[in-house]
Amino acid sequence: MVFVNHEKAPDGLPVVPLWINGSAVPISDKDSLFPVVSSVEDKPIHYAVSASASTAVAACDAAASAFTSWRKTSPTFRRQLLLKAADMLESKAQEIAGWQMKETSCPKEFAGANVKLGPIYVREIAAATSEIRGTVPQRMTGPDGNEMEGLTVVVREPVGVVLIIPPWNGAVILPLRAISMALAAGCTIVVKASELCPRTHSMLLECFEEAGIPKGIINMIQAKREDAVAVSEAIVSHKAVRKIDFIGSAAVGSKMGQLCAKYLKPILMELGGKGPAIVLEDADLKKTAMYCAMGAVMDHGQLCFSTERIIVHKSVYDRFVPILAATMSKIPKAGDAVSKQSATHAYDLLVDAKEKGATFLCGGPEYLSGTSLKPTLVTNVSKEARIADEETFGPSASVYVADDDEDAIAKANDSAYGLNAAVHSTSWEHAYNVAMQLEYGQVHINNVTLTDSPGAPIRGVKGSGWGQSNSIWGIHEFSVEKTLYFHPSGAGGILSGH
């Protein structure tokens, strides 16, 4: 098992180890341990071993060695293993959800959705292995005007060792998606688990191990924040590592992008968002208010898909806003922040907005506890306020009025981000016309911004990242196309005229 119970910290609490080449790495230095703290309990619940540059390299070496044989496995073999892993994930769902709640302080309902949806993503990716195909391009015309002889075949092969850096929010769905896409493509993996929820992430690895994954295919480490930069560079610079999958904030994503550029390594990034919900003049106002409020407060607003801005057509503004405020006010608590620092950040943005002239339709900069803020709607937001285009990662949303559709579209697109958006209208044609002009990777019609479909591609545009995840689109991110030219015997080549 990944969670080695006989390894204890000095105070007797258990330890999440490093997992390299199919086994836990013995703890050689107690100083490498760091506490994993529950924000609600305000105390350590266990410890984790922080990787060093040398142990990070060892994880890469193990993945590189395993890649030699793993790349030769058939898509059918990999599909069967993923399906077994999905079964194991379901059998351990309650235990995984329990660890997610302990480590990230998320609500029970949110953890429950994670463990329910996680295996669905794994199975969809497993099914998509049947779509891994090559092509046979048409033969080209030579210098003499005649069709060239021979055969050209394009095959798709795994990119190599992949570094996966999953986040603590969506702590089950997002790492499972990344791991499954890379495995399905035939890649081996080094996972740099979140230092905020290493036990949750290690539980996912346990499920793959118990499903029969060969040793070295998935290696998992974690690092305390002061070690993270050195550990990340040791992995990215490793010659066997060929791609990185990073999900996190735009600030850290920018640094990761620069690090990958330094070593000429491609990176798939899903970063932050400032998700707008546009309320058109023909929207169902009661349903829309529910979706907007839900989108703003889910998991204390700590999701990149959260509804951060609500843009309302002026013809329905005076009717909609009271409904929205009443809906939001009925939510007594939106959960807890993953840490006191996260709660403080969300609070500080509300204070800054107030100091720069904003007013509150409900709530305000108010703590319900040391890690929970009151659900809040803010309006009259100045462009100079931080909240105008900075993720709050708290249970709040800013409300704006739009003169018409064009103004609503302009306000929605006036952001550095481009991840998820929503459009609310009782006319699909009306909603479609607006949605097509939004600079976002996903646009949801008459639903919350924080939804996703396992069978459809998901991506960010602008400052929300690049590359695609889910199903065959995600598998393709971890494979490359190679062109093979079969020239006929005795051919003189393209420049010979034969």
Select which of 209, 270, 308, 477 is catalytic: 270
Q: Record the tokens describing residue 123, joined without a space.
A: 């199975």
Helix ranges restricted to H, 237-334: 250-262, 285-297, 314-329
Alpha-carbon distances, residue 20 vs 33, 61, 66, 222, 393 (angstroms): 17, 9, 11, 12, 33
Q: Other C-beta atoms within 10 Å of 405: how many?
A: 18
User: Which residues have a Cβ under 8 Å from the Cβ of 29 and sit 6 or more positions away?
Assistant: none
If we measure between CA atoms, which residue out of 238, 226, 217, 322 comes closest to residue 57? 238
The residue count for the chain: 498
Answer whether 300's CB lies under 8 Å from 337's CB. yes
Active site residue 206: no
Rounded Cα gap, residues 290 and 242, in angstroms: 44
Active site residue 270: yes
For residue 145, give the DSSP letter: S
Rounded Cα gap, residues 213 and 83, in angstroms: 12
Rounded Cα gap, residues 171 and 459, in angstroms: 18
If we measure between CA atoms, which residue out of 347, 81, 44 comes closest to residue 213? 81
Coil, strand or helix at 99: helix
The DSSP element (H or E) to which 276 belongs, if any, is strand 275-279
Strands of 101-150, DSSP E: none
Rounded Cα gap, residues 353 and 356, in angstroms: 5
Rounded Cα gap, residues 441 and 444, in angstroms: 10
Select which of 304, 308, 391, 477 is catalytic: 304
Answer whether 114's CB lies under 8 Å from 100's CB. yes
User: Which residues have a Cβ under 8 Å from the Cβ of 133 and sit 6 or more positions away?
Assistant: 156
For residue 167, give the DSSP letter: -
Catalytic residues: 270, 304
